[in-house]
Structure 1
Amino acid sequence: MNAAVRRLIASLTCATVLPSVQAQERVEVFQLGTQQVRGTGAATVYHVDGIERINATLSAGLPSDPAQAEAVAKRRFEALTAADRQAIGASAQGLTAAMQYRLTKVPAIVFDGVAVVYGVENVDQALAIYRTWRARVGR
C-alpha cells in the first residue's frame, strides 16, 4: 500500500475519536469468529459473535414441542464446558466494550481507547495507520 493510500485510509478510518473507556496504552481487536486478524500478540481479542455461535449450537435441531425443546436446551446448557462458559463471558465483555466504543463494524482495532481503525486485518498495519493519524493531529 503506498503512502498516499495509507494517509487516505488513516484520515477516513481514524477520524472518529472514541469516547474514553479507560485511557491506557493498549490494543483491542474486535472481530467475528470467522475473521482472522494477524499480529494480535499482546492485544486483547474479542470475538463479538461468541454468544450468537453458542446460542446457535444450543438451539440447533431442537424439537418443535416447546416442553421438549426446553428440556433439550437445558441439558445442552448444563453440558457446556468451562471453556464454553469462559468464551461466553469474554464475548459478553467484548460486546460491552464495543458498545461503549460505539463500534459500527468489525474487524475493528482500537488503540489506547481513543481511536479505531476499521476493516484492517493486521494489527501492525493498523498501528501504522494509527500512528500516522496521531502524528498528523498532534496527539
Structure 2
Amino acid sequence: MAMRARLVIFAIIMGFACAGVQAASSLWPESVLVVTSDKYPVATPDAFKSYIPKVTQLNLDSVSQVERRLSEELPANEELAKAEFQRRVEAIGKAQLESELRNAYQAVGAAMAYRLDRYPAVIFDEQVVVYGLTDLSQALEKYRQWRLSSGEVTVHE
C-alpha cells in the first residue's frame, strides 16, 4: 500500500478516535461553582480537581463570619468599642479585610445571579445547577447523566 494511502487511513482512524474522545470529554464540565453554607460543607476531593481544574467554592456564611470576628465581645462603651473595632481592622489589615469581604459577598452575588432558591447548589459551566448534594462526585454524575439524556452529547464507542 502506498505511503499516502496509509496516511489517509491513519488520519481517518485518528479522526474517529478523536471524535469519541472529544464527545466523552465533553461530559466533563470546564468549571464548577459551589454555593453553600457552614451547615452544608462540601469537600472537593483531590481526584475531582484533577478532572476539573476550576472548582470555586463560595460560602454564604462568610459575610457573617467576618462581621462576627470584628464585632464579637466589643465593649459596651461606644468609644471603647470603636477603638477596639479599629484595632481589629488594623490587626487583620485593610487590604486583607477588603479581600475577605469581597470574597464573602461573591457567594451572595452568585446566589442572586443564578437565582438560587436553595443550597447547597453546584453550578456546572455557568449553566446547569444541581441542588442539595454535598458530594461533588454525585453532583458531577447527575450533570453527566443530564448531558447524555439531553441529547447534547453522544458517546461513540
TM-score (norm 1): 0.70
Q: Is 1:127 matched up with 2:140?
A: yes
Larger Rg, first or second structure (1 or 2)? 2
State the superposition RMSD in angstroms.
2.3
Q: Is 1:29 matched up with 2:34?
A: yes
| Equivalences for residues 1-139 of structure 1 within 5 A | 25-39=30-44, 41=49, 42=53, 43-81=55-93, 85-139=98-152
| Cα distance between partner residues in 1 of 2:118 and 2:144 | 21
Greater RCO, 1 or 2 (C-alpha within 8 Å, sep 6+)? 1
| Cα distance between partner residues in 2 of 1:48 and 1:79 | 24
TM-score (norm 2): 0.63
More helix per residue: 1 or 2? 2
What secondary structure sits across from 2:92 in the alignment? coil
Amino acid at match of 1:79: A
Gaps of 5+ in 2: 1-28, 153-157
What secondary structure sits across from 2:44 in the alignment? coil
Gaps of 5+ in 1: 1-23
What secondary structure sits across from 1:27 in the alignment? strand
What secondary structure sits across from 1:79 in the alignment? helix
